[in-house]
């Protein structure tokens, strides 16, 4: 099949970025969320990010206007039923994702491909609970979606070759590079990245260094563009914890035990940038370490 229309479920940080890159590449996009304010915020964010691309001469004003015209929002998930590809980009909780697929399935065309932007959950298990495991695939975009070039492509045990090849073509049409990953917990990027962040939190927890020194050490000592605690705040501490729990549960190895301090921050609601506080406090003019 040729994919021309794309449904995106979830208008948060990842969902609005996915809608942005698809619309800019010529696809018709229907973006849905359970909250009308999330859809309004998503359109504002997409417009601002497109404006930034225009100001940097990455795209023209005409391309920006055309992209915005291709995006339609709705609160009714059934309206995604006639799209050729649906990408779920909701919160990193399996029960939430499963509920979304249950709501979608009665409305989908037989040939529609289902994809999930999960960063860690088993594609095989999610696919097995749908009516089309052969047309189900993991398409894991990196954050921020309009900027990052990599997309992890993960086949479940039942994903057929046609679906896989179709998505390779789609990702390349977006101007991004697909990296094939096997369906094991957290795939490639987060299997390596999130345990590094967790170890940085342990380094803080054990008093080896404070927030500023840990981040400075990795930026200047390992040439990382962001320190691991700064990066954790950017990703969201709840997401980091969820991925560590998937690794710990899925691989049954104590080296993936989430740091108790990470758990404590999440319990406090200090989830990083999106909450105003995490390992840094973002409520003032400049971020201030919280430890």
Residues identified as active-site = 119, 140, 152, 190
Give CA–CA dist 178/137, Å, rounded: 13
Is 217:151 a contact under the CB 8 Å cutoff?
A: no
- Measured in whole angstroms, the distance separating CA 205 from the mean position of its chain's CA atoms is 27
- DSSP H helices in the chain: 13-24, 36-55, 61-69, 94-104, 123-128, 161-173, 189-205, 211-221, 228-235, 237-251, 260-268
Cα separation, 263 vs 265, whole angstroms: 6
Read off the DSSP letter of residue 272: B
DSSP 169-204: HHHHHTT-EEEEE-SSTTTTHHHHHHHHHHHHHHHH
In the numeric block, the tokens 């391309």 are attached to 63
Please count the other Cβ atoms lying within 10 Å of the Cβ belonging to residue 195.
17
How is residue 277 annotated by DSSP? B
Find how far residue 182's CA is from the centre of its chain. 18
Q: Look up residue 288 and give its two tokens.
A: 């201030």
- For residue 158, give the 3-state DSSP assignment: coil
């Amino acid at each position: 099949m040729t994919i021309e229309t794309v449904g995106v479920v979830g208008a948060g940080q990842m969902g609005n970025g996915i809608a942005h890159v698809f619309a800019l590449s010529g696809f018709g996009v229907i973006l849905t969320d359970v909250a009308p304010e999330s859809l309004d915020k998503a359109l504002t964010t997409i417009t601002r990010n497109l404006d930034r691309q225009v100001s940097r001469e990455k795209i023209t004003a005409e391309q920006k206007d055309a992209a915005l015209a291709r995006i339609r929002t709705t609160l009714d998930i059934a309206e995604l039923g006639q799209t050729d590809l649906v990408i779920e980009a909701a919160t990193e909780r399996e029960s939430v994702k499963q509920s979304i697929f249950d709501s979608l399935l009665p409305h989908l065309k037989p040939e529609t491909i289902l994809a999930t932007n999960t960063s860690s959950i088993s594609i095989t298990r999610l696919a097995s609970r749908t009516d089309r495991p052969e047309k189900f695939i993991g398409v894991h975009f990196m954050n921020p979606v309009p900027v990052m070039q990599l997309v992890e492509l993960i086949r479940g045990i039942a994903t057929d070759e046609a679906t896989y090849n179709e998505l390779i073509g789609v990702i390349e049409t977006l101007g991004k590079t697909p990296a094939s990953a096997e369906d094991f917990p957290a795939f490639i990027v987060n299997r390596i990245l999130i345990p590094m962040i967790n170890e940085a939190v342990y380094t803080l927890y054990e008093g080896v260094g404070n927030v500023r020194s840990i981040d400075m050490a990795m930026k200047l000592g390992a040439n990382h563009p962001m320190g691991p605690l700064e990066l954790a705040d950017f990703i969201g501490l709840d997401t980091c914890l969820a991925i560590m729990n998937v690794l710990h549960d899925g691989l049954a190895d104590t080296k993936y035990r989430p740091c108790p301090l990470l758990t404590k921050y999440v319990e406090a609601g200090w989830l990083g940038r999106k909450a105003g506080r995490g390992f840094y406090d973002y409520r003032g003019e400049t971020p201030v370490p919280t430890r």
